[in-house]
Amino acid sequence: MRLGKWIAIIFLLSIFAFLVPAMATDHDQEVAATHDTEHGSTHGLEHAVSETGHGEDAGHGGHGGHVNLGETLPLWSCIPFACMLFSIALFPLLAPKFWHHHFGKISAFWAACLGIPFLIAFKGVAVHEILHIILADYVPFIILLWALYTVSGGILLKGTLRGTPMVNTIIILIGTILASWMGTTGAAMLLIRPFLKANNYRKNRTFMVVFFIFLVANVGGSLTPLGDPPLFLGFLHGVDFFWTMKIMPHMLVTAGILLVIYFFLDTYHYKKEGLTSAPVEEGVKEPLKLVGTHNFIFLGGVVGAVLTSGIVNWGEVNTLGIHRAMQDWSRDGFLILMGILSLWTTSKRLREDNDFTWFPIVEVAFLFIGIFITMVPCLLILKAGLKGELGFLIAAVKEPVHYFWVTGALSGFLDNAPTYLTFFNTALGAFYPGMPEAQAVPLLMTETSIYLKAISAGAVFFGAFSYIGNAPNFMVRSIAEEAGTSMPSFFGYILKYSLVFLFPTFVVVTLIFF
Amino acid sequence: MEFKKILFPTKFRELAFNSLESILELKKAGLKEIVLTYIIPRDEVGFVPYGGYMKDEEERLREQARIRFENWQEAVSVEGIESKVRIEVGNPVPKLLRVAEEEKVDLIIAGRKKRTVLGKVYIGSHTLELVRRSRVPVLVSKYMVRFECEGDLITRVNDHIFTAPLLATDWSEPSEKALKLVSSFKELADKVMVTHIIGVKISKGLDKSELNRIEKESKERLEEYCDRLKKDGINAEPHLFSGRSAHEIIRVARERKASMIVMGTTGKDRFKEFWLGSVSHRVTEESELPVLLVP
């Protein structure tokens, strides 16, 4: 009953909170209308466009954004978004069992806290904004993750491997390379079980899994939009497919440093454990074999579909008032086809041997619908640039180094996908306020590319900083713990590993590139 | 063909122990060992969103299961049957099939659905998947079920399930195996009702002479089956009917007061089953009696 009262209070406060700025907007519009009548300004037209919910959905899945609404919305309209992210950060720590069984409801609650008052207050514009983020961002985002997860779940590495420092380093290196092409989740899921099996005779496996998370589940995914969700969101908003290759030097430095550290650390432990001679093999030695390799064809299909959607222009189609490019819908359809073909052509037994389960992807789908809906006001305010209530943030975050560290620091403790989108919009607001996304993003990729590099590298690299930085982190942790590898606590991971190994590495990256 | 080693998986639902007790009489048919199994669904303890794995919860569930099984093992050992406990984490059906393979069991026991819907199905999706995929016989035990009969709500307790089995045969290879299995029930069964249904698909469009030929042939085969059972020391009686196979089997079993239904199953996958249908799976879903399916 007490919980019910709190829910009701939060809900009522949300509605009240939105009605106030909505009334203020009405007042502003009245003033603006008078002003326009007097001076024939086009400003009033912008208002009208926003009000009817037919704002420009410029170009490649992006949109011009209702700048006016962003200028009007109060900062506390971002509270549901913050609460959503803090729920993700705190519930798994404080009440894991409750969270495990109710995360969907919690996500729906925060989405409703934003969505319902937002719809009551801003009606058509709110519908348009919410539909836009769902159709242009959430749907393709989830479809890509689902396709990569499904296809890579059909590939199984079988056989007996002996986890020596060299073999382990090579596995992590292969995973780091694969991550950009099959997604950090796909690469991590493909290799984590063989990696753990290869090292089940080793006493200290914790650091191995942590470095696996650093490199395969995060840093490795920085080269293409397929690699890490933040980069795909950037792609959806107009960043070229191969532009992310510009992160290669940053990635090579980071991965190089971490791999060298890993090798020496593993060698130290290997010797300390007295494992210089070959361990006695238990059971029959099975040769290494990759099963379900036909799924690489579907993986190629995924890469091809995403790449093609960034190159061709087949016109636009209006879906529920949202303009989306035909090639984007085609890409999404093709990705679903690749997933279905993978499911159809891969034996059930193979997926079972891979311990394949839909649960992680369902979790991501439930949580991200909450994240995407609650982040609407935050993105609008950021897009308004200095005129929005987050103008102080835009004013404070000026240099590339700021973007790298602020995007990174928040990515480490909140999921990196929404964080990327937040600072992507911060940069757009700072450099090109009011300019449609289709025009602003190409400029961000060229004129001010160092900022986009800083945001991209920050979001992807810092995703490794904690378990909650990126979705594959918790999947790898879960599989490792189930297999009997003890993993550090949330704070243990940060204090013993992230601060010791990642932090100095990122300082080096900063000194070299930003 | 005997049931020497049985896999008894459980979710510790109500009446699970009674269900276990009801199969202990298989000792008379050669039962030596029961593998008591509990699968902790991975989704219950793993992949906590952004959290990882709940090791403590796994330990708690393991401990809870171990204590319950200890109690059950005592009851099993009183009957002079050996027992073993397997508690695993994984996807329930694939994991059960893997345990069955590792333990080389002769029979898997599957339970009924927790809440039965009147006039609807008695088994859940997991049991159906197990039945579809198992390479060893599966007994869907249904210890207690409720069903509607002529407007009355009847609660039925299925104990002593081996006393009057109804063997439904379609002359297939699995049916032949089922016959051999039933032969091992001689210490348990009072009589076996060997039944064949001339299905609508077969009889439809045939002229009378052709129907007579099929009827005559079926009767001869039924007699042959009964003779073989009698030779093994089991009282058997033939029953021949015509109509919708699954519906007729359920009806006859109810009318003749059968204690269980034994059938061969060809193991159709979900796709084939959707298009072609499966009599054995339909009987398993809809009959209030325990069903033993032999692949």
Three-state DSSP at A278 gives: coil
Per-residue model confidence as pLDDT tens digits over A168-227 = 999 999 999 999 998 998 899 889 989 998 998 998 999 999 999 999 999 999 999 999
Highest mean pLDDT among A7-16, A349-358, B196-205: A349-358
Contacts of B141 (CB under 8 A, 6+ apart): B19, B22, B23, B109, B110, B111, B112, B158, B161, B290
Res. B153 pLDDT band, cuts 50 70 90: confident
Residue B148: its pLDDT value, please? 75
Question: Which residues partner with B153 through β-bridges?
Answer: B148
- Report which of A42, A37, A47 is spatially closest to residue A70, judged by C-alpha positions: A47
Could B91 and A359 be called an inter-chain contact, meaning their C-beta atoms sit closer than 8 Å? no
Which residues of chain B make contact with A192, given a CB cutoff of 8 A?
Answer: none
> Helices (DSSP H) in A312-436: which residue ranges?
326-345, 348-353, 359-374, 376-383, 391-396, 400-413, 416-431
The mean pLDDT of A105-117, rounded to a whole number, is 94
Considering Cα of A124, then A128, then A134, then A135, what sign does the dihedral take?
positive
Does B60 reach chain A within 8 Å, measured CB to CB? no
Res. A421 pLDDT band, cuts 50 70 90: confident
What is the phi/psi pair of residue B106, to 5°? -100, -15
Rounded to the nearest angstrom, the minimum Cα separation between B116 and chain A is: 25
The mean pLDDT of A430-442, rounded to a whole number, is 88
For chain A, the average pLDDT equals: 84
Rounded to the nearest angstrom, the minimum Cα separation between A494 and chain B is: 14
Task: State both tokens at B145.
Answer: 């079920």
Cα distance between residue A466 and residue A413, in whole Å: 6
Residue A49 pLDDT > 50 = no
Whether B1-110 and B156-295 share one fold: the answer is yes
Could A100 and B49 be called an inter-chain contact, meaning their C-beta atoms sit closer than 8 Å? yes
Count Cβ–Cβ pairs < 8 Å, chain A vs chain B.
77
Rounded to the nearest angstrom, the minimum Cα separation between B58 and chain A is: 9
Task: State both tokens at A500.
Answer: 């010791």
Does B50 reach chain A within 8 Å, measured CB to CB? yes
Burial class of residue A446 (count of CB atoms within 10 Å of its CB; 0-12, 13-18, 19+)? exposed
Residue A8: its pLDDT value, please? 59
Could B50 and A89 be called an inter-chain contact, meaning their C-beta atoms sit closer than 8 Å? yes
Could B50 and A352 be called an inter-chain contact, meaning their C-beta atoms sit closer than 8 Å? no
Per-residue model confidence as pLDDT tens digits over A406-418 = 999 888 876 788 7
What is the phi/psi pair of residue B224, to 5°? -60, -45
The mean pLDDT of A32-36, rounded to a whole number, is 40
Which residues of chain A make contact with B90, given a CB cutoff of 8 A?
Answer: 355
Cα distance between residue A457 and residue A450, in whole Å: 10
Res. A14 pLDDT band, cuts 50 70 90: low
CATH superfamily of the domain spanning B156-295: HUPs (3.40.50.620)
Considering Cα of A6, then A11, then A16, then A21, what sign does the dihedral take?
positive
Which residues of chain B make contact with A360, given a CB cutoff of 8 A?
Answer: 47
For chain A, which residues lie within 8 Å of any Cβ of chain B, measuring from their own Cβ?
88-89, 91-93, 96-97, 99-100, 103, 352, 355, 357, 359-360, 363-364, 367, 415, 467-468, 471, 473-475, 477-482, 487
Residue A67: its pLDDT value, please? 47
Cα distance between residue A116 and residue A114, in whole Å: 6
The chain B residue lying nearest A359, using CA atoms, is B43
Rounded to the nearest angstrom, the minimum Cα separation between A141 and chain B is: 18
Pairing of strands B5-9, B33-41: parallel
Residue A71: its pLDDT value, please? 87
Does B43 reach chain A within 8 Å, measured CB to CB? yes
Residue A51: its pLDDT value, please? 36
User: Which of A357, A361, A369 would best serve as a mutation to test chain B binding (most B beta carbons within 10 A)?
Assistant: A357
Could A482 and B89 be called an inter-chain contact, meaning their C-beta atoms sit closer than 8 Å? yes
Cα distance between residue A442 and residue A18, in whole Å: 34
Other C-beta atoms within 10 Å of B209: how many? Answer: 7
Residue B293: its pLDDT value, please? 93
Cα distance between residue A203 and residue B240, in whole Å: 67
The mean pLDDT of A119-147, rounded to a whole number, is 90
Question: What interhelical angle do A165-198 and A248-272 show, nearest 10?
Answer: 80
Per domain, the residue ranges of chain B are 1-110, 156-295
Res. A35 pLDDT band, cuts 50 70 90: very low
Could B47 and A487 be called an inter-chain contact, meaning their C-beta atoms sit closer than 8 Å? no
User: Which of A355, A411, A413 would best serve as a mutation to test chain B binding (most B beta carbons within 10 A)?
Assistant: A355
Contacts of A363 (CB under 8 A, 6+ apart): A103, B47, B49
Could B49 and A97 be called an inter-chain contact, meaning their C-beta atoms sit closer than 8 Å? no
Residue A386 pLDDT > 60 = yes
Residue A348 pLDDT > 60 = yes
Residue A482 pLDDT > 50 = yes
Residue A52: its pLDDT value, please? 34
Other C-beta atoms within 10 Å of A392: how many? Answer: 11
For chain B, the average pLDDT equals: 87
Residue B155 pLDDT > 50 = yes
The answer to whether A223 and A180 have CB atoms below 8 angstroms apart is: yes
CATH of B1-110, one of 3.40.605.10, 3.40.50.620, 3.90.1150.10, 3.30.930.10: 3.40.50.620
The answer to whether B23 and B8 have CB atoms below 8 angstroms apart is: yes
Cα distance between residue A212 and residue A255, in whole Å: 11
The mean pLDDT of B267-291, rounded to a whole number, is 75
Contacts of A290 (CB under 8 A, 6+ apart): A155, A156, A157, A158
Which residues of chain B make contact with A89, given a CB cutoff of 8 A?
Answer: 50
Contacts of B103 (CB under 8 A, 6+ apart): B5, B7, B35, B84, B86
Which residues of chain A make contact with B52, given a CB cutoff of 8 A?
Answer: 92, 467, 474, 477-478, 481, 487
Pairing of strands B82-90, B236-243: unpaired
Task: State both tokens at A19.
Answer: 């009605």
Cα distance between residue A490 and residue A92, in whole Å: 10
Residue A27 pLDDT > 60 = no
Cα distance between residue B277 and residue B274, in whole Å: 6
How many residues are given for chain A? 514
Task: State both tokens at A90.
Answer: 């705190």
Which residues of chain B make contact with A88, given a CB cutoff of 8 A?
Answer: 49-50
DSSP character at residue A321: T
Could B43 and A367 be called an inter-chain contact, meaning their C-beta atoms sit closer than 8 Å? no
Helix (H) or strand (E) holding B9: strand B5-9
Residue A460: its pLDDT value, please? 95
Rounded to the nearest angstrom, the minimum Cα separation between B53 and chain A is: 4
Buried b (16+ CB within 10 A) or exposed e, A162-183: ebbbeebbebbbbbbebbbbbb
The chain B residue lying nearest A466, using CA atoms, is B50
- Report which of B39, B65, B47 is spatially closest to residue B126, judged by C-alpha positions: B39
Residue A65: its pLDDT value, please? 47
Please tell me which of the candidates A474, A479, A487 has its beta carbon nearest to residue B49: A474
CB within 8 Å of chain A, chain B residues 68-107: 89-91, 94
Sort residue B139 into left (φ over 0), alpha (ψ -120 to 50) or beta: beta
Residue A392: its pLDDT value, please? 85
Three-state DSSP at B140 gives: strand
Contacts of A186 (CB under 8 A, 6+ apart): A148, A149, A151, A152, A153, A178, A179, A299
The answer to whether B110 and B130 have CB atoms below 8 angstroms apart is: yes
Residue A434: its pLDDT value, please? 80
Residue A53 pLDDT > 50 = no
Could B49 and A355 be called an inter-chain contact, meaning their C-beta atoms sit closer than 8 Å? no
CA dihedral A349, A355, A356, A361 (to 10 degrees): 170
Rounded to the nearest angstrom, the minimum Cα separation between A506 and chain B is: 23
Question: Which percentage of chain A shows pLDDT scores above 70?
Answer: 85
Which residues of chain A make contact with B43, given a CB cutoff of 8 A?
Answer: 357, 359
Per-residue model confidence as pLDDT tens digits over B197-244 = 988 877 777 788 888 898 999 999 999 999 999 998 999 999 999 999
Residue A63: its pLDDT value, please? 42
Does B47 reach chain A within 8 Å, measured CB to CB? yes
Per-residue model confidence as pLDDT tens digits over B136-146 = 999 998 888 88
DSSP string covering B205-258? T--HHHHHHHHHHHHHHHHHHHHHHHHTT--EEEEEEEE-HHHHHHHHHHHTT-
Residue A45: its pLDDT value, please? 28
Residue A111: its pLDDT value, please? 95
Which residues of chain B make contact with A473, given a CB cutoff of 8 A?
Answer: 50
Residue A294: its pLDDT value, please? 95
Q: Which of A72-86, A298-312, A434-448, B121-135 has the lowest mean pLDDT?
A: B121-135
Cα distance between residue A68 and residue A47, in whole Å: 7
Residue A264 pLDDT > 90 = yes
Contacts of B13 (CB under 8 A, 6+ apart): B111, B114
